[in-house]
Amino acid sequence: MGLARSEAEIRDWCIEYLGRTLEGVEQPISPEMSFARLGLDSGNSMHFMVELEEWLGCELNPEAIFEHPTIGELARYLATEGQSQAGPA
């Protein structure tokens, strides 16, 4: 399992990654914006989760992005529960 990351680290990584990879996204990206509002569909959501897994160094529940539909909610979940429940990547 990778290094445990803080909520702020995860949130900042998500904002930076999505700002860099998504086209036509209003700037700045707010942690409270929904992934749907950012334009993530099922395909790019899965790519985002794979990149996040690699950065965190652990396998994540693929449903996490749908159960926690904003950057802030996902970061909070991953910092408190998600990484401890995940398996090695």
Between CA 42 and CA 2 the distance in angstroms is 25
Angle (nearest 5°) at CA 13 between 25 and 45: 55
Residue 82: per-residue pLDDT:
65
Q: Which fold has domain 7-88?
A: 1.10.1200
DSSP 8-class letter at 4: -
Between CA 53 and CA 57 the distance in angstroms is 6
For the record, the structure tokens of 2 come out as: 């990778």
Report, as an integer, the average pLDDT of 54-80.
94
Q: Can you give the residue ranges of every domain in the chain?
A: 7-88
State the amino acid at position 78 in one-letter form: L
Residue 45: per-residue pLDDT:
93
pTM of the predicted protein model? 0.85
87: pLDDT strictly greater than 80? no
Lowest mean pLDDT among 23-32, 40-49, 78-87: 78-87
Taking only the tens place, the pLDDT of each residue in 6-16 is 999 999 999 99
